[in-house]
Amino acid sequence: MDAILLQILNGLDKGAAYALIALGLTLVFGTLGVVNFAHGALFMLGAFCAVTLNRLLTISTKIKDESVTFFDAYKEVPILEAKFPTWGPVIVDYSVPLAILIAIPVMLLIGLIMERGLIRHFYKRPHADQILVTFGLAIVIQEVIKHSFGANPIPQLAPDGVAGSANVGAWFGMGDNIVYPWWRLIYLGFAMLIIGATFAFLKFTTFGMVVRAGMQDRETVGLLGIDIQKRFTIVFALASVCAGLAGVMYTPILPPNYHMGMDFLVLSFVVVVVGGMGSLGGAVLAGFLLGILQSFASMTEVKAIIPGIDQIIIYFVAVVVLLVLPRGLLGRKGVMED
Binding site for another protein (CB under 8 A): 35, 118, 121, 125, 127-129, 131-133, 135-140, 142-144, 146-147, 151, 262, 266, 269-270, 273, 277, 307-308, 311-312, 315-316, 318-319, 322-323, 326, 336, 338
**243 burial level (CB within 10 Å; 0-12, 13-18, 19+):** buried
Other CB atoms within 10 A of residue 42 CB:
29
Cα distance between residue 304 and residue 302, in whole Å: 5
Do 57 and 78 touch, CB atoms closer than 8 A?
A: yes
Of the candidates 91, 113, 53, the one whose C-alpha atom is nearest the C-alpha of residue 249 is 53
What is each CA distance from 160 to 10, 43, 96, 151, 165, in whole angstroms?
Answer: 22, 24, 11, 27, 11
Quick check: helix, strand or coil at residue 326?
Answer: coil
Query: Residue 258 contacts by C-beta under 8 Å, 6 or more apart in sequence?
Result: 44, 142, 143, 145, 146, 149, 151
> Least Å distance between CB 138 and another protein?
8
Cβ 308 to another protein, closest distance in Å? 3
Min dist CB 126 to another protein, Å, is: 8
Q: Which is nearer to another protein, 104 or 336 (CB)?
A: 336
Least separation in angstroms between residue 250's CB and another protein is: 21
Q: Which is nearer to another protein, 27 or 98 (CB)?
A: 27
Closest to another protein by CB, 80 vs 274, is 274
Q: Which is nearer to another protein, 155 or 326 (CB)?
A: 326
In the complex, least distance from residue 35 CB atom to another protein, rounded to whole angstroms: 6
Comparing CB distances to another protein, the nearer of 60 and 148 is 148
Q: Least Å distance between CB 94 and another protein?
A: 34
Residue 237 identity (one-letter amino acid): A
Question: Which amino acid is located at 232 in the chain?
Answer: F
The kind and range of the H/E element at 276 are none
* Min CB(124)–another protein separation in Å: 12
Tell which residue, 1, 9, 7, 28, has the closest CA to residue 268.
28
**Residue 28 or 318 with smaller CB distance to another protein:** 318
**Choice between 131 and 185, CB closer to another protein:** 131
